[in-house]
A = this chain, B = another copy of it.
Amino acid sequence: MAAGGYYGAMEAWQAELLDECRVARLGTIAADGRPRLVPVCYALVDGEIVIAVDEKPKRGGKLARVRDIERDPRATLLVDRYDEDWVRLAWVRFDCRATVEPAGDRLPGALVALRARYPQYAAMALEGLPVIVLLPEGVVGWRWGAQS
């Protein structure tokens, strides 16, 4: 994970949680202002968080989350750990500026990082698809008995 930006400002446990989680939840702003939440797989590349628009499996058309970001680039990403032992509960939330990038210069690095984290992507053709890139602008964390 690159230092700098909000990654540099994160506490160690927050960075560890972001690394450890296999799925995050992305919140975008729907046309009517309502939050739209979806689970997403993600990877870290040079201080940004990348998400494949893979559509697992594809269903055609532009995804609603992509339309949301094109309309309003503010997006929120939440990673959290649930455990029946609630002293282990923790979450970290990133307020982000999101962009939807075509399969251009940034894609190769994003795909390398995504495939390194998710072997499932090895067999999927992502090269022609855009990626969502999240630039964190703020971070809030909480864990049992502590907060930042």
Chain A interface (Cβ within 8 Å of chain B)? 22-23, 25, 27-29, 33-39, 56-57, 59, 72, 74-78, 80, 82, 84, 86, 89, 91, 93, 95, 120, 144-145, 147
Whether A27 pairs with B37 at a CB distance below 8 angstroms is: yes
From B23, B76, B86, contact of A82 by CB (8 A): B23
Closest to A74 in B: B34
Bound together, the chains give a CA A91 to CA B59 distance in angstroms of 16
Whether B57 pairs with A91 at a CB distance below 8 angstroms is: no
From B23, B34, B37, B84, contact of A22 by CB (8 A): B84
Whether A35 pairs with B27 at a CB distance below 8 angstroms is: yes
Closest to A64 in B: B140
Chain B residues, CB < 8 A from A89: 39, 56
Bound together, the chains give a CA A23 to CA B39 distance in angstroms of 13
Whether B144 pairs with A35 at a CB distance below 8 angstroms is: no
Contacts A33-B33, A37-B37, A91-B38: A22 and B76 contacting too (C-beta < 8 A)?
no
From B37, B72, B84, B91, contact of A76 by CB (8 A): B37
- List 14 A-B residue pairs with CB atoms under 8 Å apart, sorted by A's residue number: A23-B80, A27-B35, A27-B36, A27-B37, A28-B35, A33-B33, A34-B74, A35-B35, A35-B36, A35-B75, A37-B76, A39-B78, A56-B86, A56-B144
Shortest distance in angstroms between A145's beta carbon and chain B's nearest beta carbon?
Answer: 7
